[in-house]
Structure 1
Amino acid sequence: MRVRIPIKSPKEIDRMRESGRIASEILQKLAAEVKPGTTTKQIDDYAADLMDQNDCRSAFLGYRGFPGQTCISINEEVVHGIGGPRVIQPGDILKIDVGIIKSGFIGDNATTVACGEIPLETKRLLAVTEQSLYEAISKAKPGRKLADLCGAVAEYAEPFGFTIVREFVGHGVGRKLHEEPNVPNYRPRGKTPTLMPGMTLAIEPMINAGVPEVRILDDGWTVITADRKPSAHFEHTVLITHGEPEILTNRPRLALPEQLGIPELVAPF
Structure 2
Amino acid sequence: MKTDLRVSVGAGLTALVLAAGAVGCAKGDDESPELSPAAAVAKAAKNTEDITSLSYRMKGQFPGQGSITAEAQMQLKPEMAMSMKMSMPKLAQGSYDARLVGKAMYLGGGQEMAKELDGKHWIKFDLSALGAGDLEKQLGGGASQVDKNPAAESTFLTGADDLEKVGTEKVDGVETTHYKGTVTLDQLRESLAKAKGNAATRKTQEKGLEQYEKMGIKTLKMDGWIDGDEHTKQFRMRGDSTQGPMDVTITFVDINKPVKVTAPAAADTADLAEMMKEAQQEQKQG
TM-score (norm 1): 0.28
Q: Which has the higher contact order (CA 8 A, sep 6+)?
A: 2
More helix by share: 2
TM-score (norm 2): 0.26
Which protein is bigger by CA-based radius of gyration? 2
